[in-house]
């Protein structure tokens, strides 16, 4: 005769056995690289799902570093600025904390996380994507968790949440499969946080279409407040802050003008210059010109290649002594911002004259309803 005590024993053994087995798999697979488990070829060496959990990964990864220099921003910086480049030799160890789509609020909180966990931090290089200052965005993206800020380790709650989750198991299984199919596949992120596998399948014009079809936008005071908080944080901790606006291909910049939002560029630059001097790379210059599909220096119209990133850093650290085209990366202060804006208007006029075909191609991407 079946008894309740044997029922309970079977129930508990099945429940505990299956739960612990799955949790152990999740732990040993560690698809999000946050459990500190060794990477093994053909098992978990490369982690394809890491990028989808970058906020989790970088919060933990950064806390395990001991850095002097931090690079921060959104996707342009994430894949475009190599912390291990020659220009930063004297500033090592360096880490790229930029994250795809990171709002300025997230960037400010991750900067706080860096300051709290990196006692030797001396320099922060902040790349500002202008679109973050005029887009209506949520404060933070899925995957952001305030409780991680300032923590050296995962909380017990988060540790349990990750290991006792089917989503982790699924990511783990996909990861093992990918590793077995291609044991020589490299990781999507280098140990210093640089994203190395940017999406080459995105057409060059992908973001142009998006920008040219934007409705009327206005500058976000909230985003500027988040930006100011980053400046204040660095000042309060005696950290040297180097600020720059990230470049995009001229066609991308022109798309913003065609959408009717071009006035935002000048408004934003004026406001930033009133807060802090910065290097302006956004606009019309030799390193933003070129035909559409100019993938040698731009992966797509919005994201510059590492070679451009090296030149950016050289300009940031060496100023006018840098071996960089002279119109690429202009030092802008509150006193000189109008001169810069005038120069840009002139540069745009010249570019428009010489690139009518590009302008027409970009304009044709606009939906009839937007015109």
Partner 1 sequence: MGYFALSAFRLNIIRKIWLLATSLFFYGYWSLPHLYLLMASITINFVIGSAIAKTKPNRSQAKVFLIAGIVINLSLIAYYKYADFLIQSVNSISTSSIALLNIALPLAISFYTFTQIAYLVDVYREDIPVYNLLDYSLFVTFFPQLIAGPILRHNEMIPELSRSKQERFSERSFALGISLFTLGLAKKMLIADRLSPWVAEVFTHADLVSFVEAWFGALSYTLQLYFDFSGYSDMAVGLGWLFNISLPINFNSPYKAVSIIDFWRRWHITLSNFLRDYLYIPLGGNRKGPLWQKGNLVLTMLLGGLWHGAGWTFVLWGGLHGLYLTINHQWRKSGITLPGLIGWLLTFLAVVLGWVLFRASSLAEATVLFKTLLGGNGVVLPGNLAAALSWLSPLGVEFVGTSASTALPYLSGTSSQELAINLGTIVLLLFAVMWLPNAQEIVEKYLPSPVIAATLGVLLTYCLFMMSQPSEFLYFQF
Q: Which is nearer to partner 1, 166 or 356 (CB)?
A: 166
What's the closest the beta carbon of residue 185 comes to partner 1, in angstroms?
16
Distance CA 340, CA 283 (A): 10
* Pick from 23, 352, 75, 32: nearest CA to 195: 75
| Residues that bind partner 1 in the complex, under the rule CB under 8 A | 2-8, 10-15, 17-19, 22, 32, 49, 51-56, 74-75, 99-101, 141-143, 160-162, 164-169, 199
Distance CA 37, CA 7 (A): 37
What's the closest the beta carbon of residue 79 comes to partner 1, in angstroms?
9
Tell whether the torsion through CA atoms of 128, 129, 130 and 136 is positive or negative: negative
Q: Which is nearer to partner 1, 6 or 286 (CB)?
A: 6
What's the closest the beta carbon of residue 210 comes to partner 1, in angstroms?
10
The strand pair at 69-72 and 123-128 is best described as: parallel
Give the DSSP letter of residue 93. S
What's the closest the beta carbon of residue 168 comes to partner 1, in angstroms?
7
Q: For 113-154, give the DSSP string.
A: HHHHH-TT--EEEEEEPGGGGTS---SS-TT--GGGTT-SS-
φ/ψ of residue 361, rounded to 5: -60, -45
Q: Which is nearer to partner 1, 4 or 152 (CB)?
A: 4
Give the DSSP letter of residue 186. P
- Strands laid side by side in the 69-72 sheet: 94-96, 69-72, 123-128, 240-245, 278-280, 330-332
Is residue 337 within 8 Å of residue 273, measured between CB atoms?
yes
* DSSP H or E stretch at residue 29: helix 4-29
What's the closest the beta carbon of residue 14 comes to partner 1, in angstroms?
3
What's the closest the beta carbon of residue 164 comes to partner 1, in angstroms?
5
Mention every residue, 6+ apart, whose C-beta is less than 8 A from residue 28.
Answer: 37, 44
Distance CA 321, CA 331 (A): 13
Q: Which is nearer to partner 1, 143 or 150 (CB)?
A: 143
Q: Which is nearer to partner 1, 166 or 364 (CB)?
A: 166
What's the closest the beta carbon of residue 199 comes to partner 1, in angstroms?
5
What's the closest the beta carbon of residue 162 comes to partner 1, in angstroms?
6
Q: Which is nearer to partner 1, 207 or 351 (CB)?
A: 207
Q: Which is nearer to partner 1, 34 or 88 (CB)?
A: 34
Q: Which neighbouring-strand residues pair with 222? A: none
Q: Which is nearer to partner 1, 212 or 233 (CB)?
A: 212
What's the closest the beta carbon of residue 145 comes to partner 1, in angstroms?
8
Q: Which is nearer to partner 1, 169 or 361 (CB)?
A: 169
Q: Which neighbouring-strand residues pair with 189? A: 195
Q: Which is nearer to partner 1, 49 or 314 (CB)?
A: 49
Distance CA 171, CA 33 (A): 11
Distance CA 72, CA 95 (A): 9
What's the closest the beta carbon of residue 52 comes to partner 1, in angstroms?
4
The strand pair at 123-128 and 94-96 is best described as: unpaired
The strand pair at 278-280 and 330-332 is best described as: antiparallel
Local structure of 243: helix, strand or coil:
strand
């Amino acid at each position: 005769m079946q008894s309740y005590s044997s029922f309970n024993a079977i129930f508990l053994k099945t429940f505990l056995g299956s739960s612990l087995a799955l949790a152990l798999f999740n732990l040993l697979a560690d698809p999000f690289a946050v459990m500190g488990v060794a990477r093994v070829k053909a098992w978990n060496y490369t982690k394809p799902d890491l990028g989808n959990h970058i906020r989790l990964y970088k919060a933990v990864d950064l806390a395990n570093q001991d850095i002097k220099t931090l690079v921060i921003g959104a996707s342009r910086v994430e894949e475009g600025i190599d912390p291990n480049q020659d220009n930063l030799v004297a500033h090592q160890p360096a880490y790229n904390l930029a994250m795809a789509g990171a709002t300025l609020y997230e960037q400010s909180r991750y900067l706080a996380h860096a300051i709290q966990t990196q006692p030797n931090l001396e320099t922060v290089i902040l790349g500002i994507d202008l679109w973050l200052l005029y887009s209506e965005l949520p404060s933070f993206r899925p995957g952001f968790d305030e409780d991680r800020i300032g923590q050296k380790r995962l909380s017990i709650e988060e540790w349990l949440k990750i290991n006792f989750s089917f989503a982790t198991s699924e990511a783990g299984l996909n990861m093992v499969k990918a590793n077995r199919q291609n044991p020589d596949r490299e990781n999507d992120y280098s140990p210093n946080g640089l994203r190395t596998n940017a999406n080459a399948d995105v057409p060059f014009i992908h973001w142009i279409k998006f920008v040219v079809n934007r409705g009327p936008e206005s500058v976000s005071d909230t985003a500027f407040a988040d930006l100011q908080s980053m400046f204040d944080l660095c000042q309060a901790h005696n950290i040297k802050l180097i600020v720059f606006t990230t470049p995009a291909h001229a066609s991308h910049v022109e798309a913003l003008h065609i959408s009717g939002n071009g006035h935002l560029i000048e408004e934003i630059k004026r406001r930033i210059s009133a807060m802090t001097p910065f290097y302006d790379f956004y606009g019309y210059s030799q390193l933003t010109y070129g035909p559409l599909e100019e993938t040698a220096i731009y992966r797509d119209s919005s994201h510059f290649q590492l070679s451009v990133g090296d030149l950016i850093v050289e300009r940031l650290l060496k100023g006018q002594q840098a071996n960089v085209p002279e119109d690429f990366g202009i030092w802008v202060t509150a006193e000189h911002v109008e001169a810069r804006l005038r120069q840009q208007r002139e540069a745009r006029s010249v570019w428009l004259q010489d690139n009518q075909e590009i302008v027409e191609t970009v304009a044709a991407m606009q939906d009839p309803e937007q015109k």
